[in-house]
Chains A and B, each alone.
Chain A
Amino acid sequence: MPKIKLPTKSPHIDMTPMVDTFAVILTFLLLTAQMRQTEPANVDTPFSISEKPTPDFNMMTFLLSNDGKIFMNFDNGGDTLTKFRPKILVEVGKRYGIEFTDIQQREFEKYPSSIGVPIEKMKEFLDNKNMAERNKLQTGIPMDSADNQLAIWVLYARQVNPNVQACIKGDSEAHFETVEKLLDILQDKNVNRFNLITSLEAAKINLEEIQQ
């Protein structure tokens, strides 16, 4: 009995609608995209039920890594219209007798994530173009009582932009001593209102259960 031969030609599928769909999804993603910042330290934020969104500007963010380092970021990334970042850098530099060139200021302005470099190393950091070498210089902002650079940063950030709000983005494993120190420094500079950055989680309470 002869076998029935199936046609070997593959069926042709018209891909055009698929391309259309993908183009729509891609456009949507491009328009809504908010690039995830690559932070100098990996931070897992804790969860809370708070639904207040993070402000987009007028903020200084303190990044607490779980090995006790503190990094700082202003206005959540590089290019804001207000251009507070270079002003803050210049003021802090003046305090330590360091002058930053225009190129260095621009470099600081457009740096996309948090910075945790001691001020003495800042020039070296800004001149360096290599990302890996830069990250090596990120050793956290010094904040012991002998050399409290964090307090200076806070002071000038508030002087340059009086509306700045303090946001704390901490790893949930971060040691509490670091947090306490940071709160202490901020309170010394009369910052009493803090925004703790968290991820959203749902919590339900059951009142009936408790009344029994």
Chain B
Amino acid sequence: MAEIIVEEKGKGGKKKAKKHPPHLDMTPMVDLMCLLITFFMLTTAFSKSKVMEIILPEKLKDDKPQEAPRISASRTLNIILGPNNKLYWYPGAVKPEDFNNLPPLMETDYSAEGIRKLLLERNRTLAKKIDEFNKDVISGKIQISQDSVRGAISQLKKIDDTGPIVLVKAYKDANYGNFVDILDEMNICGIARYTFMKIAWYEVKMVETAAGIQSGTAKPATN
């Protein structure tokens, strides 16, 4: 500061153009930018949405009756998406001689304590294997590229023969969210074999009994 004063004194009374640039008031610009930022924040889709892949078995075009693939009833788990976000399940299969005396449905829910626990208990061996594999990859015990992790896990799923075979069916009053939830649950629990199929007439009946719906439309198909 002292220096400047000295300098000015040295120049005497001579007038000199100001060295400082004129001061601009930036406040309106800040206001404007604030507005623009808010606008962009609100109109931008930040996280890109994700997709979940599902492959359904091919539809049979010809009318030739095909033999159903044989699966062991002891490993089968039927999950039925019910009305009002309810979820029902029963193990095994319903035999034709049981049609007059249908087994009751167990009720559960979409929470971690409900269906996830049920699935994990049945899928424990495979889920443990996948979990251990993931841990090994994270800790660096297994050197593997990120792309091959998926392949390795699907290989683990392929050779597994202890996990349940899950058949997902939907009652007509279920909603799309239930459908996605249950498929998501399959991915979380690492279920190797699951498929989505049309609900059978006796299962409609079972759901209606369990949920207390009176419709009586469920009848065996004629063919």
Binding site for B on A (CB under 8 A): 14-16, 18-19, 22-23, 25-26, 29-30, 32-37, 45-55, 64, 167, 169-180, 183, 187-188, 190, 192-200, 203, 205, 207, 210-211
Q: Are B50 and A171 closer than 8 Å at their CB atoms?
A: no
Q: Are A48 and B128 closer than 8 Å at their CB atoms?
A: no
**A207→B181 CA distance, assembly (Å):** 20
Binary CB contact string for chain B from 25 to 49 against chain A (1 if under 8 A, 0 otherwise): 1110110011011001101110111
Q: Are A198 and B33 closer than 8 Å at their CB atoms?
A: no
Residues of A within 8 A of B179 (CB): 176, 179
Q: How far is the CB of B73 from chain A (nearest CB, A)?
A: 24
A-B pairs under 8 A by CB, number = 174
Residues of A within 8 A of B26 (CB): 14-16, 18-19
Q: Are B177 and A173 closer than 8 Å at their CB atoms?
A: yes
Q: How far is the CB of B186 from chain A (nearest CB, A)?
A: 10
Q: List 25 A-B contacts (CB under 8 A).
A: A15-B25, A15-B29, A19-B29, A19-B30, A29-B37, A29-B41, A34-B45, A35-B45, A37-B45, A46-B177, A48-B180, A54-B48, A54-B49, A54-B51, A172-B175, A176-B81, A176-B171, A188-B59, A196-B53, A203-B112, A205-B112, A205-B131, A205-B188, A205-B189, A210-B121
Q: Are A53 and B50 closer than 8 Å at their CB atoms?
A: yes
B174 at the interface (CB under 8 A from A): yes
Q: How far is the CB of B204 from chain A (nearest CB, A)?
A: 13
Given A26-B33, A29-B40, A46-B177; A197-B127 close (CB under 8 Å): no
B173 at the interface (CB under 8 A from A): yes
Given A176-B176, A194-B56; A33-B44 close (CB under 8 Å): yes
**A30→B44 CA distance, assembly (Å):** 9
Q: Which residue of B lies closest to A191 (CB)?
A: B56
Q: Which B residues, 51 to 70, have Cβ-Cβ distances below 8 Å to chain A?
A: 51-59
Q: Are B44 and A176 closer than 8 Å at their CB atoms?
A: no
Q: Are B30 and A48 closer than 8 Å at their CB atoms?
A: no
Q: Are A207 and B128 closer than 8 Å at their CB atoms?
A: yes
Name the contact of A176 in the complex, choosing from B53, B124, B172, B187 (C-beta under 8 A): B172
Q: Are A176 and B184 closer than 8 Å at their CB atoms?
A: no
Q: Which residue of B lies closest to A30 (CB)?
A: B40
Q: Are A48 and B25 closer than 8 Å at their CB atoms?
A: no
Q: How far is the CB of A13 from chain B (nearest CB, A)?
A: 9
Q: Are B178 and A23 closer than 8 Å at their CB atoms?
A: no
Residues of A within 8 A of B57 (CB): 192
Residues of B within 8 A of A36 (CB): 43-45
Q: Are B175 and A174 closer than 8 Å at their CB atoms?
A: yes
Q: Are B188 and A49 closer than 8 Å at their CB atoms?
A: yes
Given A26-B40, A36-B45, A194-B54; A47-B184 close (CB under 8 Å): yes
Q: Are B124 and A197 closer than 8 Å at their CB atoms?
A: no
Name the contact of A29 in the complex, choosing from B44, B117, B170 (C-beta under 8 A): B44
Q: Which 4 pairs of residues, A with B, have the shortest CB-CB distance? A: A172-B177, A15-B26, A22-B33, A195-B51
**A188→B36 CA distance, assembly (Å):** 48
Name the contact of B50 in the complex, choosing from A32, A54, A187, A188 (C-beta under 8 A): A54
**A179→B196 CA distance, assembly (Å):** 13
Residues of B within 8 A of A18 (CB): 26, 30
Residues of A within 8 A of B51 (CB): 50, 52-55, 167, 195-198
Q: Are A173 and B176 closer than 8 Å at their CB atoms?
A: yes
Q: Are B176 and A46 closer than 8 Å at their CB atoms?
A: yes
Residues of B within 8 A of A26 (CB): 33, 36-37, 40
Additional A-B contact list (16), CB under 8 Å, known A50-B184, A176-B179: A26-B33, A30-B40, A35-B43, A52-B51, A53-B51, A172-B180, A174-B177, A176-B171, A177-B172, A183-B56, A192-B56, A193-B53, A194-B56, A195-B52, A200-B47, A200-B50
Residues of A within 8 A of B128 (CB): 207
Q: How far is the CB of B105 from chain A (nearest CB, A)?
A: 18
Q: Which residue of A lies closest to B34 (CB)?
A: A22
